[in-house]
Amino acid sequence: MQIPIRVSDRTSHHPLIFGGGPVLTANPEPFADFFDLILLGDGELLLGEFIESYKAVRRADRSTQLRHLAQIPGIYVPSLYEITYDRPDGAIQSIQPLDAAIPAQVQKQTYRGNTLSASTVVTEKAAWENIYMVEVVRSCPEMCRFCLASYLTLPFRAASLEASLIPAIDRGLQVTHRLGLLGASVTQHPEFEALLDHLDRPQYDDVRLSLSSVRTNTVTEKLARVLVKHDSRSITIAVESGSDRLRRIINKKLSNEEITQAAINAKAGGLSALKLYGMAGVPGEEPEDLDLTVAMLRSLKKAAPGLRLTYGCSTFVPKAHTPFQWFGVSPDAEKRLKSLQKQLRSQGIDFRPESYNWSVIQALISRGDRRLAPLLELARHYGDTLGSFRRAFKELQGQLPELNYYVHANWSPEQVLPWSHIHSGLSQAMLINHLASATAEMKANIQPEIASEIASEIASEPVPVPQAIGQLPDSQKLLRTVVE
């Protein structure tokens, strides 16, 4: 059966097309014209409700089915909402349900049980070949202000060790000897030590163990030793930056001393490599913050000689439902990635930047609205390359906002967001409070502090100190206006 790509072209002969997952839950709007319905939030709750509700209307016409399903908490039927705009290429004016029977806000669903997911199929054909994956924790309590993995999925939940994790692991290891522990920050599981002890028993000696990224200050020598025993050679930590000031802006509660200790522990436990993740173009970032990152990596080399260091660096991309959703992508980020590349490669640190241009496309989808549907269709038609996005934008000029509006512009907290009708569970006031705290950190005597940190860490000349607001970066000016 040929299923039309657009909802508006489907009839009662076609199946209902539905989707879910973090991308669609955060901001379903760029895909609104393609999905009959979208499940917002955790599948544990939604799938059962959806199937039971669908059974009640399976013989009804399509419109009755969709109207019925739209009443179920967490089920979003995009075609039942009307969006108006200031102008065809302007901001969103309003998002309204078509009539009073349709909920004005759709509430993301949050599962609160302590049994989390595990693989149901293990195969060499999977993206992660033959690995049995177990979800150890869901969400992250740290709330770094850019982080979708935290804000969109709060509260932090940990799988029960006895009732969920150990039985799942024992089941999975009957069919494979590769185990992946999943979660935004697996070592934050309150019983992670006990889990490590369980995996450290002789019957698991041949198990190859992989962890997703771990919180830096939880990298102990014991963790490194268990990983080495189970065939892992490296560990990944997300440090974001080497600048304490920048980490305060983003609410990453981490110091360079803790990063150094993690490297020392990794080496002492026998690991041969440490992968660090960071970002460029973070709101409030100054070029000097990047110098501090270089200095931090250089000092790590000294503190843990022989440990192979890789620095993966992405561009800051705003994500819906986070306090940084209003910030645009910094046009300086590309230049900054190049500057990091130059400085780090010359020091023998393996630098792996993510593509700036694809980060721009990521931001487009992250903050996009329904007007992107023809663009996505065209870009797909032209081959889904960067060039096809450029070509599609050119062709649709005047029919949708400029790329700059979606990607680079700082948005006002007053404006209607494409996802304003999706309720994540966190209040707008709470996100704005975080935004205000970030702005306060940006304002706190930035340059003198940076200058002295750099002076002591890399013995460079102090940088000039701008005194007037006019000399501050654009993001700071915008936020001064917004928050004061």
The nearest distance, CB 117 to ligand SF4, in angstroms, is: 17
- Residue carrying structure tokens 């004005």: 104
The nearest distance, CB 248 to ligand SF4, in angstroms, is: 13
Closer CB to ligand SF4, 33 or 42, in the complex:
42
The nearest distance, CB 238 to ligand SF4, in angstroms, is: 5
Closer CB to ligand SF4, 147 or 290, in the complex:
147
What is the per-residue binding string for ligand SF4 in 53-72, x denoting contact by CB under 6 A? --------------------
Q: Which residues sit opposite 240 in a β-bridge?
A: 278
Question: How many residues make contact with ligand SF4 (CB under 6 A)?
Answer: 12
Question: Under a CB-based contact definition with an 8 Å cutoff, are residues 68 and 60 in contact?
Answer: yes
The nearest distance, CB 462 to ligand SF4, in angstroms, is: 31
Residues in the chain: 484
| Beta strand extents in 329-462 (DSSP E only) | 350-353, 422-423
Closer CB to ligand SF4, 140 or 344, in the complex:
140
**Looking at 27, 110, 153, 185, which residue binds ligand SF4 (CB under 6 A)?**
185
The three-class DSSP label of residue 480 is helix
What is the C-alpha to C-alpha distance for residues 307 and 264, in angstroms, rounded to an integer? Answer: 9
What is the C-alpha to C-alpha distance for residues 443 and 437, in angstroms, rounded to an integer? Answer: 10
Helix (H) or strand (E) segment spanning residue 25: helix 22-26
Closer CB to ligand SF4, 142 or 193, in the complex:
142
- Residue whose C-alpha is closest to residue 29's, from 86, 110, 106: 106
Closer CB to ligand SF4, 50 or 156, in the complex:
156
Cα 411 to the chain's mean position, in Å?
A: 19
The nearest distance, CB 430 to ligand SF4, in angstroms, is: 15
The nearest distance, CB 183 to ligand SF4, in angstroms, is: 9
Closer CB to ligand SF4, 421 or 434, in the complex:
434
Q: Check residue 186 and report its DSSP letter.
A: G
Question: Under a CB-based contact definition with an 8 Å cutoff, are residues 278 and 146 in contact?
Answer: no
What is the C-alpha to C-alpha distance for residues 71 and 146, in angstroms, rounded to an integer? Answer: 32
The nearest distance, CB 155 to ligand SF4, in angstroms, is: 13
Angle at 301 between CA 200 and CA 239, to 5 degrees: 65
- Residue whose C-alpha is closest to residue 413's, from 390, 436, 392: 436
Closer CB to ligand SF4, 147 or 400, in the complex:
147
What is the C-alpha to C-alpha distance for residues 98 and 287, in angstroms, rounded to an integer? Answer: 49
The nearest distance, CB 252 to ligand SF4, in angstroms, is: 6
Tell which positions 238-297 bind ligand SF4, by CB under 6 A: 238, 252
101 burial via Cβ count (<10 Å: 0-12, 13-18, 19+)? exposed
The nearest distance, CB 139 to ligand SF4, in angstroms, is: 8
Tell which positions 209-228 bind ligand SF4, by CB under 6 A: 215
Angle at 452 between CA 451 and CA 455, to 5 degrees: 85
Closer CB to ligand SF4, 74 or 284, in the complex:
284
**Looking at 184, 235, 329, 479, which residue binds ligand SF4 (CB under 6 A)?**
184
Q: Check residue 372 and report its DSSP letter.
A: G
Tell which positions 114-173 bind ligand SF4, by CB under 6 A: 140, 142-144, 147, 149-150
The three-class DSSP label of residue 108 is coil
Question: Under a CB-based contact definition with an 8 Å cutoff, are residues 10 and 20 in contact?
Answer: no
Closer CB to ligand SF4, 366 or 447, in the complex:
366
The nearest distance, CB 278 to ligand SF4, in angstroms, is: 11
Closer CB to ligand SF4, 39 or 144, in the complex:
144
Where along the sequence are the contacts to ligand SF4 (CB under 6 A)? 140, 142-144, 147, 149-150, 184-185, 215, 238, 252
